[in-house]
């Protein structure tokens, strides 16, 4: 029997941690039904913090991607890109938070005290910070692609 096929697969930031992301893309394509959808988010190389040794500041991250590189990789592995999104608002918000922390030398405990630990509050800020904006890939540390199997 054939392995199960899917109507949609999501892959959020995973490709950055794989030795060969193209193998994963080929396997994802094979696992999709005809006209199946693929939603993928990858880190934008433009915003990648690099250490003095040339490696990513994020532990175990092997790749970050440019917009052109990601588009090429998706197309070469059998995906049509339907839409592209960035999360530019989250970049601005997080940058602002770090500036406040640095300027006032808040302790981690003090900063965390500003955030309520209830479901509604967490859900609200999760949506706000992750707010995707169509076509904002070059202004975001995360690029999101909505694709369909070619």
Q: Are 5 and 32 in contact (CB under 8 A)?
A: yes
Structure confidence at residue 95 as a pLDDT band (50, 70, 90): low
- The model's pLDDT over 81-93, given as tens digits with 9 standing for 90+, comes to 999 998 876 666 6
Write down the pLDDT at residue 133.
79
Structure tokens at 126: 């999760």
Q: Which of 101, 96, 85, 98 is nearest to 138 (CA)?
A: 85
Torsion sign (Cα): 124, 147, 26, 87? negative
Report which of 30, 34, 54, 58 is spatially closest to residue 44, judged by C-alpha positions: 58
When pLDDT is cut at 50, 70 and 90, the band that residue 136 belongs to is: confident
Residue 70 tokens, joined: 């990601």
């Amino acid at each position: 029997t054939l392995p199960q096929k899917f109507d949609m697969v999501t892959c959020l930031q995973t490709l950055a941690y794989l030795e060969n992301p193209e193998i994963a893309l080929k396997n994802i394509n094979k696992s999709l039904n005809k006209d199946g959808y693929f939603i993928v988010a990858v880190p934008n190389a433009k915003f990648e913090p690099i250490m003095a040794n040339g490696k990513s500041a994020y532990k175990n991250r092997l790749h970050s991607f440019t917009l052109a590189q990601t588009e090429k990789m998706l197309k070469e592995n059998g995906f049509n890109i339907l839409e592209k999104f960035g999360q530019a608002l989250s970049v601005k918000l997080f940058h602002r938070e770090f500036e406040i922390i640095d300027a006032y030398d808040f302790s981690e405990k003090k900063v965390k005290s500003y955030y309520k630990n209830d479901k509604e509050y967490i859900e609200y800020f999760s949506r706000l910070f992750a707010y995707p904006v169509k076509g904002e890939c070059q202004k975001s540390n995360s690029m999101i692609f909505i694709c369909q199997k070619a």
